Amino acid sequence: MMRQVRRGAAPPPGPGSSAPPYGGGVPQQPSYVDGQGHGGQDGYDSGYNTGQVYGSPGGRGPGAGGPGPGRPAPDWRRRIKWTAITLATVVVVTSVGTYFWADSKLNREVDLSKVIERPGAGEGTNYLIVGSDSREGMTSEQKKDLHTGSAEGKRTDSMMILHTGDNGSTLISLPRDSDVEIPSFVGSESGKKYEGTGRHVKLNAAYAEDGPELLVRTVEHNTGLRLDHYVEIGFAGFANIVDSVGGVEMDIPQDIKDPKSGADFKKGKQTLNGEDALAFVRTRYALAGSDLDRTKNQQKFLSALANQVATPSTVLNPFKLYPTMGAGLDSLVVDKDMGLFDLASMFWAMKSVSGGDGTSMNMPVSGSVGGNLKWDDAKVKQLVEQLKNDEKVTVSGN
C-alpha cells in the first residue's frame, strides 16, 4: 500500500510521542496549496524561482525577454598598444638573434697585427677584397662542374681595393699580373722576419708565398695606402651566393667562349647562375684586354650581385635572406677586427658603385716590364692621395 500524502497543513505531533513526526526519518514534505508547488506561508523553495542557476543578473534566465546589459565595447586603443608591443618585441628578439647568429659565422682568420711597417691611416675606410681559387671543401664533381681544376693550395684570382667615405665609394681593381716589389715581412706562420731584397713579382705571387698578411703588406708597401679590412671568398662560396639569390642578371657586351674557365655566352642580357657567374668573372683568354678586361667584368658582376641581394624580394623574404646570408658568411674569410657593421658598410658601398653613386676603375697602368703590368707611378700617387684625404677621385684607370 502507498503511503497517503496529505495535502494541506500537517497535524502537530501528539503529546509524548518520541518517534519522528513523519516516520522513518522521512523529512517533512512541502505543502502544495495551489497544486503548482507554490503558496502558503512556508511556500516550497524549489531553487528555480529566481533563475540564478543561469548566473544572469537580476534572476534573468536565458529565455527571458526584455533588454539586458550589453557586452562592453572592445578597447581598441589597448589592443593596438599590446599588438605594437608584441610586434616590437618579436622584431628586437629576431634582430638580436640574427646578429649573433651571423656574427658567429664570420671566419676571422686574418691577423693584420702581423703586418709590419704600415702606412698611416687616412680618412674613410679601405677594404682589400680578394677572390681566391681555393677549392677547399669542393667535391670532384663540383671541381668538374665549375672548371676549377684540382691544383693544390690557394692563389688569388682577383684583388680590389674598395674605399668608402664622404665623397662616394671607389672600387679599384688590382690586376693580378701587376709588377710589385716584395718588401720585408714577418712570416704569418713562422713569425720570422724576412728582409726585403728588392725582388719583383706578379702581385698574386705575394699571396701564394705567404697568404693574406703578405698580400696586405705588399699592397700597402707599393701604394702607400693603409688597408683597414681584408675580405676573401673562394670559388665554391662565390657560386653558392649567386645561386642563393636565384642568379644575377648581366648584360654581356660580346660573345664569350673560353674552354679554360667554362665560359660560353652569347651577347645580351641573361641571368647567370653560380656556375655561369664563376666562369664569367674568371675568363680572360677570350677577351682582347686579357686581365684588364677581366677585372672590369669582375667589378660589373660584383656590383650587380650586391644590387641583387639588396632587392626587397631578398631582404624581406626570410626563406631567401637567411640562405643568402648563410652562404655568404660561411664562405668569407675576414680579418680579426672585421665586424658585421663593417661588412654591411662594404656591401652597401659596392651597391652604390653599381647604382652610379661611386667610381670603378683599374689601377692606372703605364706599360709592361718583364711580362708584368707596370703601374703609372704619377697617377697612382695622385690616386692614393685623394683616397687618403677622402677626396673625389679624378684619376682615371685603364
Contacts 24+ apart (CB under 8 A), 367-375: 368/179, 369/179, 370/179, 370/200, 371/177, 372/177, 372/178, 372/179, 372/200, 372/201, 372/202, 373/175, 373/177, 373/178, 373/179, 373/291, 373/292, 374/179, 375/178, 375/179, 375/222
The per-residue pLDDT for range 89-140, each reduced to its tens digit, is 877 777 677 666 667 778 899 999 999 999 999 999 999 999 886 555 555 6
Q: Cα–Cα distance between 74 and 71 in angstroms, integer?
A: 9
Q: Please, what sign has the CA dihedral across residues 117, 218, 172, 110?
A: negative
Q: In 10 A of CB 281, how many CB atoms?
A: 25
pLDDT band (50, 70, 90) for residue 216: very high
Q: In 10 A of CB 369, how many CB atoms?
A: 10
Q: Cell 660561411, residue?
A: 330
Highest mean pLDDT among 12-26, 237-251, 280-294, 369-383: 369-383
Mean pLDDT of 135-154: 55
Packing angle of the helix pair 340-354, 291-309 (nearest 10 deg): 110
The per-residue pLDDT for range 173-203, each reduced to its tens digit, is 999 899 999 999 999 888 999 999 999 999 9
> Cβ distance 163 to 387 under 8 Å?
yes
Burial class for 66, CB neighbours closer than 10 Å (0-12, 13-18, 19+): exposed
Supply the pLDDT for residue 337: 93
Mean pLDDT of 300-313: 80
Q: Which residues pair with 361 in a beta bridge?
A: 172
Q: Cα–Cα distance between 73 and 313 in angstroms, integer?
A: 40
Residue 53 scores a pLDDT above 50: no
Q: In 10 A of CB 91, how many CB atoms?
A: 10
Mean pLDDT of 342-371: 85
Neighbouring C-alpha atoms within 13 Å toward the C-beta of 144:
3
Pairing verdict, β 268-272 and 332-335 = unpaired
Q: Cα–Cα distance between 126 and 159 in angstroms, integer?
A: 13
